[in-house]
């Protein structure tokens, strides 16, 4: 029984959010970062109030966006 799948070496295909983030200017990405942080906090707080898992899914999407944004900004700073 295989537990781990072998992954291909080399660049992986981009997700939708990564493609979108790549086409946005750096100043606008900072605004997106602030928005993502707000959404994450708001949704986790919402989950505390009513224990509805939908809040956690929204927080997760915000966290994925934040990760993509910070990775893109890091990539841009290395290219400068």
Domain residue spans of the chain: 24-75
Helix (H) or strand (E) holding 27: helix 26-50
What are the tens digits of pLDDT across the range 13-52?
Answer: 888 999 999 999 999 999 999 999 999 999 999 999 999 9
Is the model's pTM score more than 0.85? no
Q: 60-72 pLDDT, tens per residue?
A: 999 999 999 999 9
So what's the pLDDT on residue 14? Answer: 85
Please give the torsion angle defined by the CA atoms of residues 43, 48, 51 and 53, in that order, rounded to the nearest 10 degrees.
30
Q: What is the mean pLDDT of residues 50-62?
A: 96
Instruction: Provide the pLDDT for residue 15.
Output: 87
Residue 6 clears pLDDT 70, i.e. is over it: no
């Amino acid at each position: 029984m295989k537990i781990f799948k072998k992954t291909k070496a080399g660049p992986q295909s981009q997700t939708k959010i990564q493609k979108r983030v790549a086409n946005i200017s750096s100043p606008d990405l900072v605004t997106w970062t602030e928005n993502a942080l707000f959404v994450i906090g708001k949704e986790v707080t919402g989950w505390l109030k009513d224990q509805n898992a939908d809040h956690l899914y929204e927080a997760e999407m915000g966290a994925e966006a934040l990760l993509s944004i910070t990775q893109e900004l890091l990539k841009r700073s290395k290219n400068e």
